[in-house]
Structure 1
Amino acid sequence: MGKDEKSKSPDGKAQTGTRGEKGHGRMRRQTKFTGISPAVWRECWERDGGICRHCGKGGVLQACHFVSRARGGMGITTNLVMLCPECHREMDQGDGKEIKREMREYLQSLYPLWSEENQKYTKGTGR
C-alpha cells in the first residue's frame, strides 16, 4: 500500500496507512475519541478568532492536538488549538517546545480546571 492509501482493517473499518514515516508503515486509525468532528473544529476556529494562535496568520488553519492522537489525545475543544500548516508542522515534526508552551498557557487561561491528563482518552470511561 502506498503513502496515504486507504484500506480496511479486519473489522471492516477504513484505515489510512502511511509508509516511510514514524511507525514504519504501521496503520494509524482515528477513533471517535481522537478524531475532530466538524462542530468541534468550527468551535475551535471561532474561539481562536480564525487565526493561528502562534503566528497570527489567517487563511488555512488546522486543529492541532495538544496531547497528540498517538498519545490518546482526544478531539475535544480543550485539547485543540488552531494553527497554520507551517506552525502545525513545527509543532509535530520540529522542536515545537515554544508552541507547546504557548498552547498550554492558552488552554489553561481558557479552561481554569484544564490538565494535560484530562485530554487523554481512557478506555472504559467513555472519555
Structure 2
Amino acid sequence: MTSLMDLSFLLLITFIITYPTLEQGINIKLPRGRTEAIENLKSQNISIDVQGQVFYNHKPTTLDDLERALTELTAQDPQAAVLIRGDERLDYGRIIQVLRVLHRARVVRMALVTEPD
C-alpha cells in the first residue's frame, strides 16, 4: 500500500512540475508597439510562430482547417473576436494569408497583438 502511495505522489509531483511548460508550448516573440488595451473579452486565439506554423487556440492547424473552424464560429456568433499573435521575425506574407482566412470566414472583430513599448 505504501509503495502505491509513493508512486501516486511521484506522479502527482511530475504533473505539477511539467504542466506549466505544456501551457507555454508556442514560442512567439511579439513585436513591440504602442497599442490600446483590449477589453477583457472571450476571444479565439491564432498564433503564428517564426517558422510560419499556425496554431488555433494553442493547437497546430492548417489554413484550411482554420477557415472551417472560424466559419463555424462566425455562424454561431457573428461578433466573435479573434486575437492574432504573430512572431515579429515572421514573414509578413504569412500574416496576410491568415488575414485572408479571417476575411473569408467573415470574422469582423480581430486584433493584432503586440508587446507594449
Bucket of the pairwise TM-score, normalised by the shorter protein: under 0.3
Answer 1 or 2: higher relative contact order, Cα 8 Å, separation at least 6. Answer: 2
Q: Return the structure number with greater strand share.
A: 2
Task: Give TM-score, length-normalised by structure 2.
Answer: 0.28
Task: Give TM-score, length-normalised by structure 1.
Answer: 0.26
Larger of the two Rg values belongs to structure = 2
Q: Return the structure number with greater helix share.
A: 2
